[in-house]
Structure 1
Amino acid sequence: MGRKFIDCRAFPSEMNCSLTIIADTERELVDAAVQHAVAVHGHQDTPELRDQIRGAIKDGMPPEEAPSRAV
């Protein structure tokens, strides 16, 4: 089982958030990313948000260079 990550730099935000969250399991990663999205970005913890986060998970380790932001 490899590492998984989600990179806030890939998403548009007013604060240009640069946080990357890395975990060994999808569940742990989704839970941490939801906590971040709610606390920092003001999102609501909904099934839709969790689905969006699951869809943005990548395998491996994040690149040092910031990815281009989604539209």
Structure 2
Amino acid sequence: MMRKVVDCREYPEEHCTLTIAGEEDEVVAAAALHAQDRHQKPDTPELREEIRSGLKDEVAVG
């Protein structure tokens, strides 16, 4: 299964450098928790859909 990545640097207004990688559902859940804790965003279905739509496939290094 291809790992997914979400990178806060793609949202420069947030001034955050966190990157989260893993299976899609794990990344969405972790990113939603991060958005609540660090960016004071409510955990809503709309937030999770925004996160999900911004996921990218992880680029393998090696």
- TM beyond 0.5: yes
User: RCO (CA 8 Å, sep 6+): is it higher in 1 or 2?
Assistant: 1
CA–CA separation in structure 2 for the residues paired with 1:13 and 1:35: 18
Give the distance between the partners of 2:41 and 2:12, measured in 1 at CA: 14
Distance, in Å, in 1 between the alignment partners of 2:43 and 2:13 is 17
1:1-71 correspondence to structure 2 within 5 Å: 1-14=1-14, 16-23=15-22, 25-61=23-59
Name the structure with the higher helix share: 2
SS of equivalent residue, structure 1 residue 51: helix
Across the aligned residues of Structure 1 and Structure 2, the Cα RMSD in angstroms comes to 1.5
The two structures have a TM-score, normalised by structure 2, of 0.88
TM (norm. structure 1) is 0.78
State how many pairs are aligned: 60
Structure 1 residue ranges without an equivalent (≥5): 62-71
Structure 1 segments (4+ residues) deviating >3 Å? none
Q: Provide Cα deviations, 1:14-66, integer angstroms capped at 9, x if missing partner.
A: 5x10000011x1110100000000000000000100000000000013xxxxx
Return 5+ residue gaps in structure 2 as ranges: none
